[in-house]
Amino acid sequence: MDFTFNEEQEMLRNSARDFLKKECSKKLLRELEKSETGFSRKLWDGMAELSWMGIPVPEAQGGVGLTLLELGILFEEFGRAALNGPMLSTAMGTVALLEGGPAAPDQGLLGQVAAGKRVLSFALEEPEAVNEPRFVGLRAERADGGYTLSGTKLFVPYAAIADLVFVAARTRGVPGERDGITLFRVDGRAKGLQLAPLRTIAGDKQYQADFHGVRVSAGEVTGTADEGLPLVVSVLEKARAVQCAEMVGGAQYELEITAEYCRTRVQFNRPIGTFQAVQHRLADMFVDVQGARLTTYQALWRLSEGLPAAREVAIAKAFTSSAVRRVAFSAQQLHAGMGYDLDHELHFYYRRAKALELKLGAVPAQLFALHGELRS
């Protein structure tokens, strides 16, 4: 299997790297972390001009019409830049719209998302539903031709600036049942929706979202009412693969700056990179990065080709999460004390490595899913 990028993919990677290097400085990252929303409209509009939000959207609907593989290439550059933001949640909402059916309102909305005019969020996790969406318990009661949503969601990304929040709710049955889950589009400023910010290790903006009788119309259902679990699972599967690419980008950059540091840092009258123990540690980092990249792009390729990829995604998420954590730890050790200094850029990467390891299903959940795949 050849994972060499074609000319179009190379152009995407190079243009993304050049843009983010110019527009996404570490000074900006610090400002975004300290800001209330963590969102730069100028940066978002710049990305929209490059049509990044439209990568998975068909050309007929205002997008670029590329595949999940190209989206992964883009997210690898986001990881390299250590950029937090609503990019992944917007991509998740886009996938939900694409796979949820050809309803007319969805078509216009896709064009707006592709143009960067809509920011999307995705509300799935709950106190009792972290890794398994079938345990969703937030209720959506039918009322007056629509629905009333009541309950709590956790870790809702960038909800304060989202135009729409995709909410997985239970319209029938009890948590644990596979039937009875529906995916809704909820106005980010809907009456009865209350947001409380959650402090995160990565410095991104996540919220607890409390739904107090939030009303939505039947037309805001994405997919099929009561049968939304397969759609939610499909969105999560693709999001995990794309997030793995983001993790690979961060680890690759850590490897590069650590190798450069070891070439120039002199101790005992010689560069520390000439010591065998340091070389072994750098070699281990290289193996981890390459292994994470190969498992990630295998998953992305299968998803882009429409092939079953549950096993490959679970492998990619489990291996990449562990590998990136090891790379971050080694980078810190080889940089010694300066690697822990908040004035150094390294902390952006090791904080994000841990956060992304836990996001969208931690390693134990992926190993459990993989065990189920191997038994079936």
Q: Distance of CA 16 to CAs 24, 47, 71, 91, 270, Å?
A: 11, 9, 11, 17, 37
pLDDT of 170 above 80: yes
> In this predicted model, what pLDDT tens digit does every residue of 186-202 receive, in sequence order?
999 999 999 999 999 99
CATH code for 230-375? Answer: 1.20.140.10
Q: Options 1.10.760.10, 1.10.540.10, 3.90.1150.10, 3.40.50.360; which CATH number does 7-118 get? A: 1.10.540.10
What is the pTM (predicted TM-score) of this model?
A: 0.95
* Beta pairing class for 193-198 and 181-187: unpaired
Residues in the chain: 376
pLDDT at 71: 98
> In this predicted model, what pLDDT tens digit does every residue of 292-309 receive, in sequence order?
999 999 999 999 999 999
CATH code for 121-226? Answer: 2.40.110.10
Q: Distance of CA 214 to CAs 10, 194, 203, 224, 353, Å?
A: 45, 10, 29, 20, 35
pLDDT at 304: 96
Reduce the DSSP state of residue 178 to 3 states and report it.
Answer: coil
pLDDT of 230 above 90: yes
Cα separation, 246 vs 240, in Å, equals 10
- What is the band of 105 on the pLDDT scale with cuts at 50, 70, 90? low
- Mean pLDDT value across residues 168-182: 96
Radius of gyration over alpha carbons of the chain, in Å? 21
Mean pLDDT of the chain: 94
pLDDT of 243 above 50: yes
pLDDT at 369: 83
- Domain-wise residue ranges, the chain: 7-118, 121-226, 230-375
CB 56 within 8 A of CB 99: no
pLDDT at 104: 47
> In this predicted model, what pLDDT tens digit does every residue of 354-373 receive, in sequence order?
999 999 998 988 988 887 76
Cα separation, 254 vs 252, in Å, equals 5
Q: What are 338's strand-pairing partners?
A: none
Cα separation, 232 vs 100, in Å, equals 10
> In this predicted model, what pLDDT tens digit does every residue of 25-42 receive, in sequence order?
999 999 999 999 999 999
Cα separation, 130 vs 122, in Å, equals 13
